Chain A
Amino acid sequence: MNIMFYVLLLFILIAAVIAVETKNLLSSVICIGAIGFGVSIMFLFLRAPDIAITQIVVEVLGLIILIRATISRDLTFISGDKEFFGTVVSVVIIFMIFLVGIRVFDTIPEFGQPTFAQAHNPASETYIEDGLEKTGAANIIASIILDFRAYDTLGEATVLFTSIIGATVILRRKSRKALGELE
């Protein structure tokens, strides 16, 4: 199980590097798809089937959009070389963040355990133990996202709504009225 986890992580990492580095846009898109499916399998390993379902379906939709966009635009190749200076600077910065990251991830506790043990009962335990009693929903995730933290879900639905309105606004055909139309 654990070894599978690391293999999956490695797979995702390699796919991500290829997606960024390749010059063929179509293979980049396919790598992004591979990352998405890797992530959804990861969610299954972490016992989150809800998120895995959503991840897969969204991934499929996203792939359709991206592949259609790449193919129909005939932009399968990108040209141009990278600047040497920029590459060096980003490599240095990434290396520094990597060093800090190692130190930081040392402090992160085992999966599911908060570092600072708390005296009182944390929220997550209540969700698991009393979720069914308090909300009546057998699916704990539903009881969290639609009852305990329903306000967050309203926010997320609004994020989606905002991006839709934003997309329709940005992609509308005519943005300004002609001078004559201004009364």
Chain B
Amino acid sequence: MIGLLPAFVVIPLIAAFILPLFGKKGKDAATILANAVILLLLVLAVVAVYSGKQGIYEIGDWSIPLGINLVLDGLSALMLLAIATVATAAMLFSARYMEQYTAKAKYLSLFLLMVAGMNGVVLSGDIFNLFVFLEIASLASYALVGFGCGHEELEASFKYMVLGSVGSIFILFSVGLVYGHTGTLNMAYISQTIQNNGGLNAGLTFALALFIVGFGLKAALVPFHAWLPDAHPSAPAPISAMLSGILIKTLGVYALSRVVFNIFGVSQATGWLIIVLGLISMIIGAFLAIGQEDLKRLMAYSSISQIGYVVLGIGLGAALIQKGEDKLASLAILGGLFHLVNHAVYKSLLFLNSGSIEMATGTRRLEQMGGLAAKLPYTRATCAVASASIVGIPPFSGFWSKLILIIAAILAGYYWIAAIIVFVSLCTLIMYLKVHRYVFLGQLPEKLQNARENKGTMLFAMAFLACLCILMGLLVIIPGLKEAVLDPAVKVLTGGFEYSRFVIGPGG
């Protein structure tokens, strides 16, 4: 398995380089090729998770820190699986959905570049390499947001590009600072150098702050969220699903937690900073979402709120590790990571639903819809599953992750955090009831009499994710699964500096 690690990056990259060569005539071949690549990645990711193998891959046969290494540990494996799952569904959905646009081969190429970039970020063991792949994924997403080329899309894309570049510059500057201080770019060696010299000095603290701001911008946490409500609705539906479902988590949450936990080491201050960011995101995102009249915009604000849960769990873990309560910390982090995976599944499903609705009705305005339950039965059913899941109704996946977060908060003695989690869940309930009320129930407008559902791959993609929504709950109920999938990832974060010993080896 370890020998196959570069395949996660190189296969989509080569496919993306070849795809633009397919012209208009080779459109179907291009679609098949792209789908095959994504499916292959899914298979590889499943193998990576289930084989449970961990290790490092040294590129070019140069031992670290001379060369660049790829690291596969529990967290990377979990993220790879999440990326591949969402990408599979979005790709299947695109096959039919993207027929409304031109330049499909280039769309597929950009899609694969985004996936390659995210895989690269997740696997990289080198901080500059992480930045490079983060840029690839970001650039591809800027272009994909503006894919429709309308005024609104281009404006959103431009706004996203400006803020995204500001985030990237913060990260790059911080990488430079870290290199100046430690003389190495390898994440494990940076971590080791920091440990050997007794923690952070002023320069490294500033670098950490810059990292938090930069990755916070990529994750759209609340003071830095301005781009998301424009960008996510403007993109084509499968891309919205990718952006909300997985991109903000890979570039934001994953990179943030890798840097905070494994490189710089957690402290009480960073822990609470992250908790506060998470809480603000949860509350403000939920409040803003309720007022929206645009279906996809509502979901975009809801993403901000949901990413808050993930960040809250991770921040709570950071704060608790520092207090020495390792068991509680791993519970909180488990909640956060589990919510991350859950949200990846149900939010991408919701955006695919919105795509299906938009394709049938031609609008995203809630007040122009109504009574679509009869016209779009499958969309309605999958949307109901996803909504139940995001709200946290018991058998569905969202319930379990929220429950874990609440239990962790209560056991740690932060009752007010638990209260906020419940309160935001209620807000989420209101916003998705609103969606169902306006879209599926009520009177069917005259204009929409001819609306009909798109079957085929689009439906299959939605059904696939809906099944996952239900099955994900089993992850915590069936004993073996949690140990295989989630626990290794949690262990990476709670382990903290173990990461450097794992990469460098016992001798280093």
Interface, chain A (partner B; CB < 8 A): 100-101, 103-109, 114-116, 118-119, 122-124, 126-127, 147-152, 154-156, 158-159, 161-163, 165-170, 172, 174-177, 182-183
Query: CB-CB contacts of B92-129 with A at 8 A, as 1s and 0s?
Result: 00000001111100110110010011001000001011
Contact across chains for A170 and B180 when beta carbons are under 8 A apart: no
B148 neighbours in A (Cβ, 8 Å): 175-176
Contact across chains for A176 and B203 when beta carbons are under 8 A apart: no
Q: Which of A104, A118, A176 contacts B193 (CB 8 A)?
A: A118
Q: Give Cα A157–Cα B99 distance, bound, in whole angstroms.
A: 30
| Chain B interface extent, by class | 35 or more
Q: Which of A106, A123, A169 contacts B103 (CB 8 A)?
A: A169
Contact across chains for B139 and A166 when beta carbons are under 8 A apart: yes
B106 neighbours in A (Cβ, 8 Å): 165, 168-169
Q: Is B3 an interface residue (CB 8 A)?
A: no
In terms of DSSP, what is the predominant structure of the interface of chain A? helix
Given contacts A148-B67, A158-B113, contact A106 B129 (CB under 8 A): no
8 A Cβ contacts from B176-217 to A: 177, 180-186, 193-194, 196-197, 201-203, 206
Nearest-CB distance from B138 to chain A (Å)? 9
| Count, A-B residue pairs, CB within 8 A | 149
A124 neighbours in B (Cβ, 8 Å): 183
Q: Give Cα A72–Cα B152 distance, bound, in whole angstroms.
A: 25
A151 neighbours in B (Cβ, 8 Å): 59-60, 67-68, 129
A176 neighbours in B (Cβ, 8 Å): 100-102, 148-149
Contact across chains for B66 and A107 when beta carbons are under 8 A apart: no
Contact across chains for B60 and A166 when beta carbons are under 8 A apart: no
Contact across chains for A123 and B149 when beta carbons are under 8 A apart: no
B103 neighbours in A (Cβ, 8 Å): 168-169, 172, 175
Q: Give Cα A104–Cα B174 distance, bound, in whole angstroms.
A: 12
Most buried by B among A122, A124, A169, A182: A169
Contact across chains for A156 and B132 when beta carbons are under 8 A apart: yes
Contact across chains for B113 and A162 when beta carbons are under 8 A apart: yes
Nearest-CB distance from A43 to chain B (Å)? 15
Contact across chains for A169 and B62 when beta carbons are under 8 A apart: no
A155 neighbours in B (Cβ, 8 Å): 120, 129, 132-133, 135-136
Contact across chains for A114 and B181 when beta carbons are under 8 A apart: yes
Q: Is B146 an interface residue (CB 8 A)?
A: yes
B133 neighbours in A (Cβ, 8 Å): 155
Nearest-CB distance from A11 to chain B (Å)? 22
B185 neighbours in A (Cβ, 8 Å): 123
Nearest-CB distance from B420 to chain A (Å)? 29
Q: Give Cα A147–Cα B120 distance, bound, in whole angstroms.
A: 18
Nearest-CB distance from B448 to chain A (Å)? 15
A107 neighbours in B (Cβ, 8 Å): 181, 201-203
Q: What are 9 pairs between A and B in contact, CB < 8 Å? A: A100-B206, A104-B202, A108-B181, A116-B182, A118-B183, A155-B120, A159-B135, A162-B140, A166-B140
Among all A-B residue pairs, the 8 with the closest Cβ atoms: A166-B143, A114-B183, A175-B149, A155-B132, A107-B203, A104-B206, A123-B65, A162-B139
